[in-house]
Structure 1
Amino acid sequence: RIMELEAEVKLLEKQKALLERQAYIADKKAIFFDMMINIAESEYQIDIRKNSASVQSATSAEEKKKL
């Protein structure tokens, strides 16, 4: 039984390492995409990001209420 648990621990450690790497890559991608949006907004003088002060549509407001 101990050997089974040790094998399970090793498997979980490998899974954890993989997930940590995926999280690291996702974080770097988010930073890169944010930088690209900043560059596009400054180069073309357009707003790409959604304005936080904008009025919600009725559909999205109803969906938020469900959550």
Structure 2
Amino acid sequence: MTQTETLSLQEQTEEDMAGKSKDDQIRELKAQLKQAHKEAELEKLRAHAYDTMINLAEETFNITIRK
């Protein structure tokens, strides 16, 4: 997500939140937080998979990929 997309999403979220009750805002923010945690965990797994692939390639082909 680019900085522009993040900014417009933040602005949109603030506008959406303005007309909602506190309970609705809390529920929505909790859902967003849960989604963000899920995305962060997937990115960690993805990074680990790439790291594993690079390690295997370096060992298998006896080459240096990382500097």
TM surpasses 0.5: yes
2:65 to 48, 54, 60: 48
Task: Output the amino acid matched with 1:7.
Answer: D
Which runs of 5 or more structure 1 residues have no equivalent in the other structure?
A: 51-67
Which runs of 5 or more structure 2 residues have no equivalent in the other structure?
A: 1-19
**Could you say which structure has the larger radius of gyration?**
1
Q: Which runs of 4+ in 1 moved over 2 A?
A: none
Q: Aligned partners of 1:10 and 1:32: how far apart in 2?
A: 33
1:17 to 34, 53, 66: 34
* 1:37 matches 2:54: yes
Q: CA RMSD in A?
A: 1.1
Match of 1:28 in 2: 45
Select the structure that is richer in helix: 2
Task: Output the amino acid matched with 1:42.
Answer: E
- Normalization by structure 2: what TM-score? 0.68
Q: Aligned partners of 1:7 and 1:39: how far apart in 2?
A: 48
Q: How many residues align?
A: 48
- Normalization by structure 1: what TM-score? 0.68
